[in-house]
Amino acid sequence: MKTPASAWVVPPVQPLLIRDLLTRVRHWAGGQRIIYRDLREHSYAEFLARVDRLGRVLTDLGVKPGDRVGVLDCDSHRYLELFFAVPMLGAVLHTVNVRLTPEQIAYTIRHAADSVMLVHTDFLPLAAQLAPQLPDVQAWVALTDGALPADPGIALAGEYEALLAGVSSEFCFPDLDENTVATLFYTTGTTGEPKGVYFTHRQLVLHTLALGLNFSVHHDPLSLQCDDVYLPLTPMFHVHAWGFPYLATLLGLTQVYAGRFEPALLLRLIARHKVTISHGVPTVLQLLLNHPESAGVDLSNLKLVVGGAPLPAGLARQARARGIRLLSSYGMSETCPVVASAHPKPDRADTDAEADLEVCSRTGFPLPLVEAGIWSANGTLLPPGRDQIGELVLRAPWLTGGYHLDPVRSAELWRGGWLHTGDIAYRDLDGYVRITDRLKDVIKIGGEWISSLELENALSRHEAVKEVAVVGVPNAKWDERPHADVVLHPAHAGQVTPRELQKFLHGFIESGAIHQRAVLTEIRLVEAIPRTSVGKIDKKALRAALVAAAST
Amino acid sequence: MKTPASAWVVPPVQPLLIRDLLTRVRHWAGGQRIIYRDLREHSYAEFLARVDRLGRVLTDLGVKPGDRVGVLDCDSHRYLELFFAVPMLGAVLHTVNVRLTPEQIAYTIRHAADSVMLVHTDFLPLAAQLAPQLPDVQAWVALTDGALPADPGIALAGEYEALLAGVSSEFCFPDLDENTVATLFYTTGTTGEPKGVYFTHRQLVLHTLALGLNFSVHHDPLSLQCDDVYLPLTPMFHVHAWGFPYLATLLGLTQVYAGRFEPALLLRLIARHKVTISHGVPTVLQLLLNHPESAGVDLSNLKLVVGGAPLPAGLARQARARGIRLLSSYGMSETCPVVASAHPKPDRADTDAEADLEVCSRTGFPLPLVEAGIWSANGTLLPPGRDQIGELVLRAPWLTGGYHLDPVRSAELWRGGWLHTGDIAYRDLDGYVRITDRLKDVIKIGGEWISSLELENALSRHEAVKEVAVVGVPNAKWDERPHADVVLHPAHAGQVTPRELQKFLHGFIESGAIHQRAVLTEIRLVEAIPRTSVGKIDKKALRAALVAAAST
């Protein structure tokens, strides 16, 4: 009996949808609560009913699949409801970054073409100011913790709680394609207008699963578990609060949302609800530890994922001394965001506290399904090794497809089939990614990256040097050559020559602290270094002036 | 500046491929080993190189995308290599169930149209016997733990290790569509030929992620962690050893494969390698606990996922007394397999050991992304509740698309858009699935399911009853009516009437132990109950005879 060659019945592939992150918790979470500041708490059953009501309210406001719905709020139970209801309608949740300038905020809302805006009363004055510039917005909804202001300054379609109360909790969300865009938000670079990054249902579901597996399967230094109590220390408008609210909801954790940033309230919420898991940038950790009320709060049950910036060793030690279990992780707006975390390997030999802290503070080891490459200045992939430095590039099933309505910068982001992070890194011999610089801070010399920050650090250690800026200047032979503008301390003016500084720099090169090719550095003594309007060193202007000078 | 309506750059969606389960471990696993019996162990680096060599060997043997590659082996490091290399080529791994009859094995190999077969020397005699009936097989490869037999009885294309040694470890696996079929194996029902179920790359990757999250995020009663040592107690030919080898490899665990089932060797391997995580059916657990060498082995670090059959309370207590942490889980060949596990909820009130054991022995709570429904006899979905009994139906992104080359049974499996498990269950008020019967053992009376096993149990408690079989007989008014054939003990023959047995049964109905509609049960005294060739009660024949009698 010879059967024919393969004739698989390939099933209708079941899509990965944000809706399905709620399936399990309908029956799982009984006693777990969702809490907002010291103002409100409710059960998961109520949360689910509110998501259904919100689906009806948004539909009644005219939200259709593909529409953008903007939110101006800090971390809240309502934001969590919007995390689900908006994408589940097939619409796109635009999490507006309230920390941008009013101009930038208006730009992002116009660029996203948001048709409905939900605005916390704290931001109503801003909304009223911007509304005339936002022709696409059809309806404004107020989110309020108390009474609405007598004059909200803007024509409101309603207040969130009143709208929810006015509809039935029976609502059926539509079936969707898993590649439907679910979320959108804007990231600001050093130059140009804010760029919109966006994620699909499939991407967010996969990020949630990989995030959960990654943070629960290593008990050292911290393991996310199903009885944790969660409070984000990052804004929900910033890369979905790193994706943790989706995970916390999937797992049915008790969740605490703290509203606008108030360290004293945060500390009280952590203490009252026995918060065990959180995540945030080093600055927020520092604010919590140094707050006057901090000493009275037991933080010894807290597990904290740190990201957004390198974790300083001193801060890490201070946090550990309070009993906090800390772990570095890495990601960016374009990556959903988490792509790496600094879990120590289970078989490492060295396990004293300092060695452990060093590992846990690294950029991180790639998550499951994440492929990390080191992209050399020549566009080849480099092997592990401290001297194999290049741009960190990534592949993973949850990286943004590009920048919204910006095919040029999208193509640049994804050149060569990898997402280019703009971070300069190497992969250490244990396989951890180690970021050394931002791409804008490195100089390409003869096909190799040299850090301009390292050169600046070295030169600034000369007692005569008050200020220094190093940039790369195009060079036919070497791709680029480093150029240093140096301002001397007045006391040393006229007493130190560029040649002397060059010799000083060569000392670092000879000792191996700095790359050999740094010998090519040209040094110029100047009165002042160009600065931007906000007072930062303006390397772009410096480079442009040098290029112009060279071509005349 | 009005922007146009949405114009998302949807990225080329990054596929979910089995290949990507290996990305992380290339740099992660240093000291972890892959071990086979007491015969071999090697590093992950060697495992990865062997997978590459295997890709080359299979390609040289003519394996092309879409081809089926069959394996006759017990759990081994080589099987693990085949788990990866065959699907990564775009070919389909047919894990042949060596426990079927030779006839059935030949049927499955013909039905799959395997073109290359890899056969452990233990199964070479069987292969030699079957080869003449297998016209599609182009090449046979021997897997051997020692020397090849002088006369393998079959023309071999080579021996696995020799073939691997003969090629370069540089091999580039192709890019694939994520919906490419990766694995195929056959499941036997009570009737008909074995049915082939199959899974795609996407399904296996999603199952791996959800399995990992589910088993690591609950510390009670067990949490899979990245320093675990893994040994499967289920065959790799049976539903990919429940998918755990893919997960163990993704996480870089030390893995131990035990070859053919030998309890003494298993116990020695568990002791020597300090195995911490395993999974198996209750029978295997029983064999291990009751083996003469068992008492000398410390099992107190073992975490064991139990499935395939209900976990008897006595066995669970015995295992717990040895320090084993036990957890029930549920799945079937058609479901990849794991769809539920009996983790206790973190907020449950009752936590004494017996209550805990009762929870951990339930069928289970659905995994993330799994939707479980209770399908009533009328084709509606039932709410939770002990009396809301129906067929367990499932949706999840990793359920088989159907039965290979069998559109009729595929459509039956997936009727109404749900996978029909054939298990009768209810959802308890905590949301756990509780299986009560197989579908074939229930009777549909007036739109409700009644368990034939419950009726049999009740009648068998009458002192005169030696044997009883209950089946449903089609009935115009009631859908079906229960019919009981009863054989009396010789001592009671002629002294008990059907009417008396009926009154006895009514006692159970009145006390609420059995469904009201069981009053419709017809009882017949017979000399013997029809049996199958292997001595099981033949309900099919009984039902057929009753239908035939009714229609004459």
The model's pLDDT over B158-177, given as tens digits with 9 standing for 90+, comes to 999 999 999 998 899 999 99
| pLDDT score of B44 | 97
| pLDDT tens digits, one per residue of B264-297 | 999 999 999 999 999 999 989 999 999 999 999 9
**Which residue of B32, B33, B222, B226 to mutate against A (max A Cβ within 10 Å)?**
B226
**Contact partners, residue B340, CB within 8 Å, separation at least 6:** B329, B330, B331, B363, B364, B365, B366, B367, B370, B372, B433
Catalytic residue, chosen from A81, A178, A334, A448, is A334
For chain A positions 208-247, those within 8 Å of chain B (CB to CB) are 209-210, 212-213, 216-219, 223-227
Q: Give the number of A-B residue pairs with CB atoms closer than 8 Å.
A: 218
- Residue owning tokens 């068998």: B460
Q: A18-425 is classed in which CATH architecture? A: 3-Layer(aba) Sandwich (3.40)
Check CB contact under 8 Å for A213 and B218: no
Query: How far, in Å, are B491, B511, B520 from residue B523 at the CA level?
Result: 19, 20, 10
B431/A27 touch (CB, cutoff 8 Å), yes or no: yes
For the purposes of burial, counting CB atoms within 10 Å of the CB of B1, is it exposed (0-12), middle (13-18) or buried (19 or more)? exposed
- Per-residue pLDDT tens digits for B53-68: 999 999 999 999 999 9
Whether the complex's predicted ipTM is more than 0.95 is answered with no
Cα angle: A21, vertex A26, A27; to 5 degrees: 125
- DSSP structural state of residue A15: P
Residue of B nearest to A219 (CA): B225
Q: How much is the pLDDT for B82?
A: 98
Which of A1, A23, A244 should one mutate to test binding to chain B, selecting the residue with the greatest count of B CBs within 10 A? A23
Instruction: With a cut of 70, say whether residue B191 has pLDDT above it.
Output: no
Q: Does B175 contact A at CB distance below 8 Å?
A: no
pLDDT of A366 higher than 80? yes
Taking 60 as the threshold, does the pLDDT of residue A2 lie above it? no
Residues B44 and B25: beta-carbon distance below 8 Å = yes
Three-state DSSP at B425 gives strand
| Topology annotation, domain A446-551 | GMP Synthetase; Chain A, domain 3 (3.30.300)
Q: What is the pLDDT of residue B3?
A: 39
pLDDT recorded at residue B356: 86
Predicted TM-score (pTM) of the model is 0.90
Q: Is the bond leading into B482 cis (omega within 30 degrees of zero)?
A: no
- List B residues 335-374 in contact with A (Cβ-Cβ < 8 A): 343, 345-347, 365-371
Distances (CA, A) of A37 to A77, A164, A239, A281, B272: 9, 20, 21, 20, 53
Q: Which residues contact B186 (CB under 8 A, 6 or more apart)?
A: B96, B97, B100, B104, B108, B111, B112, B194, B195, B196, B197
| pLDDT of A475 strictly over 60 | yes
What is the spatial distance between Cα B404 and Cα B331, in angstroms, rounded to a whole number? Answer: 19
pLDDT of residue B5: 43
B405 Cα to chain A: minimum distance (Å): 7
Interface with A, mutate which of B138, B217, B246 (most A CBs under 10 A): B217
Q: Distance (Å) from the C-alpha of residue A371 to the closest C-alpha of chain B?
A: 6
Phi and psi torsions of B390, nearest 5°: -160, -170
CB contact under 8 A, A24 and B370: yes
Residues A99-142: tens digit of each pLDDT: 888 999 999 999 999 999 999 999 999 999 999 999 999 999 99
Sheet holding A195-200, edge to edge: A158-159, A139-143, A116-120, A68-72, A92-95, A181-187, A195-200
Q: Could you give the 3-state DSSP secondary structure of residue A4?
A: coil
Is A449 in the active site? yes
With a pLDDT cut of 90, the percent of chain B lying above it is 76
Chain A residues whose CB is inside 8 A of the B13 CB are 179, 202, 397
Question: CB–CB of B8 and A198 under 8 A?
Answer: yes
List the beta strands (DSSP E) in B338-379.
338-341, 365-366, 371-375
| Confidence class for position A398, pLDDT limits 50, 70, 90 | very high
Question: pLDDT confidence of B9, banded at 50, 70, 90?
Answer: low
Query: Taking the domains of chain A in order of start, what are their residue ranges?
Result: 18-425, 446-551
**Whole-number pLDDT of residue A537:** 81
* 3-state secondary structure labels for all residues of A437-482: EEHHHEEEECCEEEEHHHHHHHHHCCCCEEEEEEEEEEECCCEEEE
Radius of gyration, CA atoms only, chain A: 26
Assess whether pLDDT exceeds 50 at residue A1.
no
Structure tokens at A485: 């503008």
Lowest mean pLDDT among A226-240, B184-198, B357-371: B184-198
- pLDDT tens digit string along B398-442? 999 999 999 999 999 999 999 999 999 999 999 999 998 878 788
3-state secondary structure A113-137: CCCEEEEEHHHHHHHHHHHHHCCCC
CB contact B384 to A (< 8 Å): yes
Question: Could A397 and B13 be called an inter-chain contact, meaning their C-beta atoms sit closer than 8 Å?
Answer: yes
In this predicted structure, the answer to whether residue A536 has a pLDDT above a threshold of 80 is no
Among chain B residues, the shortest Cα distance to A108 is held by B3
Average pLDDT in chain A: 92
pLDDT for the residue B202: 97
Distance set, CA B552 to CA A72, A534, B482 (Å): 77, 99, 20
User: Is A242 marked active-site?
Assistant: no
Output the CA–CA distances (angstroms, integers) from residue B12 to A140, A418, B157, in the order listed.
Answer: 35, 12, 40
Q: pLDDT at residue B447 above 80?
A: no
Q: In Å, what is the CA distance from B373 to each residue of B354, B382, B388, B425, B468?
A: 28, 7, 11, 9, 32
pLDDT value of position B4: 41
**Alpha-carbon B513 to chain mean position:** 32
* Interchain CB contact of B505 with A (< 8 Å): no
Task: Quickly state the pLDDT bin for B189 (edges 50, 70, 90).
Answer: low
For this structure, is A334 an active site residue? yes
Q: Which tops the pLDDT comparison, B163 or A387?
A: B163
**Residue A5 scores a pLDDT above 60:** no
Q: DSSP 3-state assignment of B544?
A: helix
- A52-61, A122-131, A268-277, B453-462 — which is least confidently predicted? B453-462
Give the minimum alpha-carbon distance from B418 to chain A in angstroms, rounded to a whole number. 11
Taking an 8 Å cut-off on Cβ atoms, the answer to whether B251 and A405 are in contact is no
Q: Rounded mean pLDDT of chain B?
A: 92
Asked whether the beta carbons of residue B404 and residue A8 sit closer than 8 angstroms, the reply is yes
- Give the best-scoring range by mean pLDDT among A39-43, B147-151, B487-491: A39-43
d(CA B552, CA B548): 7
pLDDT of residue B89: 98
The distance of B138 to chain A (nearest Cα, Å) reads 14
Q: Cα distance from B430 to chain A (closest Cα, Å)? A: 7
Q: What confidence category does residue B319 fall into, taking pLDDT thresholds of 50, 70 and 90? A: very high
* Residue of chain B whose alpha carbon sits nearest to that of A1: B110
Nearest to B456 by CA among B488, B435, B479, B484: B484
